[in-house]
């Protein structure tokens, strides 16, 4: 069974009773990404609190007056703030943002995961990635215009034979890539494309049947989490300034 998510009220009550400096993060799935960071603070006993989503992290932040005695930092994915900018109420030193769309993007770039692709796999990956970026630019623009398109779509649902699936794009009302956002997203897909979507595109190649060495999400995440790259080092450095 999935681990129940912590509500903002539950997180706040825990923090009110705590004496440990605490880093509030989005979710349990992100924990592997923060193991190295947690280890860096083992000498001062920092507590890591995954709460189950960005909304919960930000709700806890807004109620920080409830635990003024405690050092607390909040790590959140930029998500659509990549395109809209960070709202003024969340431009606070205690909020540490990913450089890319999500923590998965930062890990992906730090670990240079595409080096595992063969030449033919890379050709396939780039073709599929371009198609997904076309759809994603459309969906992001719809969201920015007040719509509510689904952004969490697995590439296997989006694609058919390496192209956008006609049935799905008809269902979601796709009319073509956003001419403004598509060049930005496609040109910097490792930073701007939704992280989990990017990982699934990569794993579609790296887990293919018959491949000499197959990878899965968990194992590749473990590999990426232990690469001491500059993006995760920057997050660790900002947290160090807040926790000590």
Render 164-194 in DSSP notation, one character per residue: E-HHHHHHHT-----TTHHHHHHHTHHHHS-
pLDDT at 6: 85
What tens digit of pLDDT does each residue of 87-100 get?
A: 999 999 999 999 99
Beta bridge pairs of residue 160:
163
Is residue 48 helix, strand or coil?
strand
Q: How many residues does the chain have?
A: 244
Q: Residue 34: which H helix or E strand, with range? A: helix 31-40
What's the rounded Cα separation, in Å, for the pair 129 and 155?
9
| Domain range list for the chain | 8-103+227-243, 112-206
CA atoms 164, 166, 167, 171: torsion sign: positive
What's the rounded Cα separation, in Å, for the pair 141 and 149?
9
CB 60 within 8 A of CB 9: no
Question: Is the CATH number of domain 8-103+227-243 3.40.50?
Answer: yes
Residue 225: count other Cβ atoms within 10 Å of its Cβ: 21
What's the rounded Cα separation, in Å, for the pair 57 and 168?
32
Give 202's pLDDT tier (boundaries 50, 70, 90): very high
Alpha-helical (H) ranges within 118-158 are 119-144, 155-158
The pTM assigned to this predicted structure is 0.94
What tens digit of pLDDT does each residue of 111-144 get?
A: 999 999 999 999 999 999 999 999 999 999 999 9
């Amino acid at each position: 069974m999935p681990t129940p998510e912590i509500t903002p009220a539950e997180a706040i009550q825990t923090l009110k009773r705590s004496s440990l400096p605490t880093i509030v993060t989005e979710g349990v799935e992100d924990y592997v990404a923060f193991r190295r960071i947690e280890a860096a603070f083992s000498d001062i006993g920092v507590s890591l609190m995954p709460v189950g989503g960005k909304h919960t992290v930000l709700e806890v932040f807004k109620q920080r007056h409830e635990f003024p005695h405690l050092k607390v930092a909040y790590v959140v994915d930029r998500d659509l703030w990549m395109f809209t900018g960070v709202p003024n109420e969340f431009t606070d030193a205690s909020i540490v943002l990913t450089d890319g769309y999500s923590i998965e993007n930062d890990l992906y770039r730090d670990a240079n995961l595409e080096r595992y692709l063969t030449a033919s796999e890379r050709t396939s990956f780039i073709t599929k990635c371009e198609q997904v970026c076309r759809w994603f630019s459309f969906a992001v623009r719809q969201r920015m215009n007040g719509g509510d398109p689904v952004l969490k779509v697995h590439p296997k649902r989006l694609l058919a034979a390496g192209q956008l699936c006609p049935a799905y794009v008809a269902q979601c009302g796709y009319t073509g890539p956003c001419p403004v956002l598509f060049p930005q997203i496609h040109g910097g897909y490792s930073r701007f494309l939704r992280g989990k979507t990017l990982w699934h595109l990569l794993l579609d190649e790296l887990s293919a049947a018959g491949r000499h060495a197959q990878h899965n999400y968990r194992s590749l995440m473990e590999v990426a989490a232990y690469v001491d790259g500059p993006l995760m080092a920057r997050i660790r450095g900002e947290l160090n300034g807040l926790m000590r």
